[in-house]
Amino acid sequence: MSAFTILTLFPEMFAPLEHSILKRARDDGKLALNLIQIRDFATDRHRRVDDAPFGGGPGMVMKPDVLERALDAAVVAQGKGRVIYLSPQGPKFDQATATRLAGEEHLILLCGHYEGLDERFVAQRVDEELSLGDFVLTGGEIPAMAVVDAVARLIPGVLGDAQSAAEDSFVEGLLDHPHYTRPAHWAPLSEEGVESGREEAIIPVPDVLRSGDHGAVAQWRRRQALLRTLIRRPELIGVARLDKHETRLIKALAAALDEWETDREPDAGQAGMRRNED
């Protein structure tokens, strides 16, 4: 069984993890989730977990002694684990990192607040720092939930269908293909909430997905994943696992997209004349 221990000042924020797939996985004994209130390990009568920074400046810094006692309690309760500090200074968390962490038996996630953790504690007790991206949040709780969710779904037995995780976006370096379900023909409601009776307003599911030809379906999905990635996240193409045929296909698609974009651009001279006329 894999275990997650989260050190936080706000354990109530993790209520969403008590639902859906993660709740079922916990009930089935596939994973354990432990929440530790950092404030419980403060020793003064005010239960202070932070103090002013040496050298001056705004904000407060979380105290190393309090954090150490909380972390030691986590180790006593669940055993040693990989200690991860959710911090904007860490490398970006991605699918490859989630896959790597899914192989750990115990992950200990530290949720920072204020100006962060005392650097001495980080240097002595933290194994790695992770960030969700180049933006600032109020604390580490939301990133911690994202890490738990992304990692847990890769643990064997957590998802009902293991193939779902294998085909997720980013697993092969590409975005996922489009998905469709019933009804096979759908007419969106108008802005007034009335279904249009016009035949041209009906949007069908792509025929190949209803053909029963599994090979054709797989090929269509792969092509759609390639095209979607090229359009939405072209930087991923360079690291995706592609065969020679797919590499040629990507080059052809990229050339077609470039040509389409060029055709859409107005002639510079005409555009200037229109601006002058205005």
Binding residues for S-adenosyl-L-methionine: 112, 132-137
User: Does residue 153 carry a catalytic annotation?
Assistant: yes
The number of angstroms, rounded, from the C-alpha of 134 to the middle of its chain's C-alpha atoms is 14
- How far is it, in rounded angstroms, from Cα 90 to Cα 93? 8
Of residues 11, 53, 88, 178, which has the active-site annotation? 88
Under 8 Å between Cβ of 51 and 105: no
Nearest Cα neighbor of 107 from 1, 6, 29 is 6
User: Does residue 88 carry a catalytic annotation?
Assistant: yes
Of residues 168, 221, 223, 228, which has the active-site annotation? 168
User: Does residue 168 carry a catalytic annotation?
Assistant: yes
Nearest Cα neighbor of 87 from 105, 107, 112, 63 is 112
**Can you read off the two tokens belonging to residue 47?**
């239960």
Of residues 68, 104, 115, 149, which has the active-site annotation? 115
- How far is it, in rounded angstroms, from Cα 125 to Cα 82? 10
Residue 3 phi/psi, 5-degree rounding, is: -130, 145
Residue with tokens 């957590």: 158
Under 8 Å between Cβ of 209 and 180: yes
Which residue numbers are catalytic? 88, 115, 153, 168
